Amino acid sequence: MIGEELTSVRHISRVMADVFRRYGYEEVETPAFEHLELFEKKSGAAIVKQLYSFRDRAGRKLVLRPELTAPVVRLYTEKLRSAPKPVKLCYFGHCFRHEEPQAQRWRQFFQSGVELIGSARAEADAEVVALADDIMRELGLSGYELRIGHIRLLREVLAHAGVEGDAQDPILRAIDSHDEGRIREELDRAGIRGKDEKMLRALVALRGGEPVLGQAEKLVANLPGAKEAVKNLREILKHLRSLGIKEFIVDLGIARGLEYYTGLVFELYVDGAQIAGGGRYDELIGLLGGEPCPAVGVAFGIDRIARALLKQGVRVPREGLDCVVLPASEEMLRECLKIAGELRRAGLNIDVDLMGRRLGKAIAYAGAREAKSVVIVGAKDLKMGKVTFRNMRTGEQELVARKELENRLKSIT
């Protein structure tokens, strides 16, 4: 990764880190290697098939992490269980999956996210969704779509049809794929027919504003657990509006590809590509060896967001060069290095010609590096305590007192 794309990735990371801090999240870091069993328990068959797994010299089964929620949960269970609740953690890291090469899917990708552990309340769900929405706004992405659902609705309908526990996961994965042939196959395998199939398909098709929830309530009127899920989603949306988030789509067909979600689920899309997703996973911590504890989180695909920013032509602030310091003659190189050192210590981004170019070519180099200015150090000027200052944007050139150089450079925007 180079150039504009890498600049975009770094910018996105800075914006996210700032938003995470404003919401009170503490950054953590986990190893790139994890034990295989961490992901075999509830990450989903599709992800397990994509793992880069191997045995180390001690015979342990290890993997390159395919996502970061499970590793962060492991970190919580090992080191943070006694911390005051809720525990609010954020992270950045590379993940690895043996995907089939295709657009917007890479075998190594950069992920970030947050996990809010310890609160089962609807306002915790709303905070995580609001955080994700705030990041999109801060980045300046236009036309992004926030879709919100509740996977417990689908799980309750499947349970009513006699499909319980892990047996639900293949059906939910099929729904998440939006592949009708695959959905038909899984429903047939599970023996879901008649009214149950009709109810499930009607729920999955519900998409729109909050009135959708009224239709959902009618569909699941005889299922107390499903009615409770609709009530919970209404409460989350109420808190979301209080947090200033009013633009969203209720999409009850969201199933998510990971198998550990239990309640709220949501996804963010830009130009039809998913760039973030998350939800509530109240059972995962218990499954991974900790005391049962409610949790909700979201993960962002930073690489995908970077591509979206570039595609939309969003101008990403660049930390370019403030100045290139150039010697008018070889004898002035030592003085150039002294000036460069002083300016760098003052917090400016400074380069020096290290190739011994003629002055004209060195100025062209500064232009190619998009430096804001050039400082030319000549023996005659230096005797008067001055240097030549050239504004690379306007082409204007003037003599500036060396002691005023720092302030002059900082005045250029």
Is pLDDT at 224 greater than 70 in this prediction? Answer: yes
Helix (H, G, I), strand (E, B) or coil at 274: strand
CB 116 within 8 A of CB 124: yes
Q: Clarify whether residues 337 and 398 are in a common domain.
A: yes
My answer on whether 139 and 216 are in the same domain is: yes
Q: What is the CATH number of the domain that holds 398?
A: 3.40.50.800
Closest CA relative to residue 259, chosen from 101, 95, 17, 45: 45
Please state whether the peptide bond connecting residue 317 to the residue before it is cis, i.e. omega within 30 degrees of 0. Answer: no
Range of the domain at 258: 3-312
Both 218 and 238 in one domain: the answer is yes
- For residue range 305-345, list pLDDT tens digits in order: 999 999 998 887 777 899 999 999 999 999 999 999 999 99
Residue with the two structure tokens 């030549």: 388
Q: Express as a percent the part of the chain with pLDDT over 90.
A: 75
Assigned domain for 218 exists: yes
15 and 69 in a single domain? The answer is yes
290 pLDDT exceeds 80? yes
Say if residue 344 is exposed, middle or buried (CB neighbours under 10 Å; 0-12, 13-18, 19+): middle
What would the two tokens of residue 187 be? Answer: 């429903």
> What residues have CB less than 8 Å from 159, skipping those under 6 apart?
168, 225
Examine residue 318 and state whether it is found in any structural domain, yes or no. Answer: no
Please tell me whether residue 187 adopts helix, strand or coil conformation.
helix
The tokens 């236009």 sit on which residue?
A: 142
Q: In the listed set 312, 343, 369, which residue is the last one of a domain according to the structure?
A: 312
- Examine the domain organization and report whether 402 and 304 are in the same domain: no
- Are 369 and 290 found together in one domain? no
Q: What is the pTM of this model?
A: 0.86
One domain for residues 126 and 38: yes
Same domain, 275 and 231: yes
User: What pLDDT, on the 0 to 100 scale, is given for residue 253?
Assistant: 93
Model pLDDT for residues 88-134, shown as the tens digit of each residue: 999 999 999 886 666 556 788 999 999 999 999 999 999 999 999 99
What's 229's domain CATH number?
3.30.930.10
Q: Do 279 and 372 reside in the same domain of the chain?
A: no
Instruction: Let me know whether 221 and 254 are in one domain.
Output: yes
Q: Please report whether residue 398 resides in a domain.
A: yes
Contact 253, 266 (CB under 8 A): no
- Contact 254/151 with Cβ under 8 angstroms? yes
* Position 140 in a domain: yes
Q: Which residues contact 377 (CB under 8 A, 6 or more apart)?
A: 325, 326, 327, 328, 332, 335, 336, 339, 387, 388
Distance of alpha carbon 33 from alpha carbon 127, whole angstroms: 30
pLDDT tens, residue by residue, 161-192: 999 988 998 899 899 888 999 999 999 999 99
Choose among 354, 142, 396: nearest CA to 247.
142
Spatial distance between the Cα atoms of 330 and 351, rounded to a whole number of angstroms: 16
SS3 of residue 161 by DSSP: coil
The last residue of a domain, from among 281, 312, 343:
312
Percentages of the chain per state (helix, strand, coil), in multiples of 5: 45, 20, 30
Is residue 317, in this structure, part of any structural domain at all?
Answer: no
Helices (H) and strands (E) in the chain, counts: 17, 17
Number of domains into which the chain is organized: 2
Q: What is the mean pLDDT of the chain?
A: 92
Examine the fold and report which residue of 293, 312, 331 is the final residue of a domain before the chain moves on.
312
Residue pLDDT, tens place only, 291-315? 899 999 999 999 999 999 999 988 8
Clarify whether residues 195 and 114 are in a common domain: yes
Please indicate, yes or no, whether residues 238 and 119 belong to a single structural domain of this protein.
Answer: yes
User: Residues 32, 263: contact at Cβ < 8 Å?
Assistant: no
SS3 236: helix
